[in-house]
Amino acid sequence: RKEVEQDPGPFNVPEGATVAFNCTYSNSASQSFFWYRQDCRKEPKLLMSVYSSGNEDGRFTAQLNRASQYISLLIRDSKLSDSATYLCVVNGYGQNFVFGPGTRLSVLP
Amino acid sequence: DTGVSQDPRHKITKRGQNVTFRCDPISEHNRLYWYRQTLGQGPEFLTYFQNEAQLEKSRLLSDRFSAERPKGSFSTLEIQRTEQGDSAMYLCASSLLPHRTLNTEAFFGQGTRLTVV
């Protein structure tokens, strides 16, 4: 089993749709959680950190369930510019960042 | 530009040749990571440094791969006797690990795309 798993995708949604991505991780010692966005042939860039209480940044909402070792990302009112691959990332204290395989999103006009 | 920079951006080499990549992290960051990414996959961890100390190496990192961070600033990743399977994007990232607190997010360079022919 991979350390971080994500919905396989791709997700093809119309503009304005709400889309949710799921991620699970196997290392219960993981301490920090992130969602990164990666555009085609570009480097990953931080979208948002994920906090235990859940957090929101505009149209984006991240949730963390430590008991289930589950992370989610919700995108509301999706835009064409949201088309990208979304990477779930976990990090244990003093350890390296472990990336999931990514879920590709295409927002269609 | 104060972000992570990598050089070269692209490298085409013949099988069997040695290649070396350089990464300059964000200046105050004490952690430096190397990842490899192939098409359709997430970045795979290779190795990381805290200051000049190499703290962990992935089992993916064969004996042909070596990385250094001699003064705790820039890092180099060398691949000896390259194989076609080494073709990938090599990403460098840096982060700041404050004392006794959680790691902050990693910032990535634009990567070095290696093609072995």
Q: What is the pLDDT of residues B67-111, one digit of tens each?
A: 999 988 999 999 999 999 999 999 999 998 765 556 578 999 999
The pLDDT of A54-68, averaged and rounded, is 94
Alpha carbon distances (Å) from B86 to A18, A95, A97, B8, B89? 39, 25, 21, 16, 9
Mutation to test the B interface, candidates A96, A98, A104, most B Cβ within 10 Å: A96
Of A31, A34, A97, which is closest to B33 when you measure between CB atoms?
A97
60-79 in A: which are within 8 Å (CB) of B?
Answer: none
Residues of A in Cβ contact (< 8 Å) with B91: 43-44
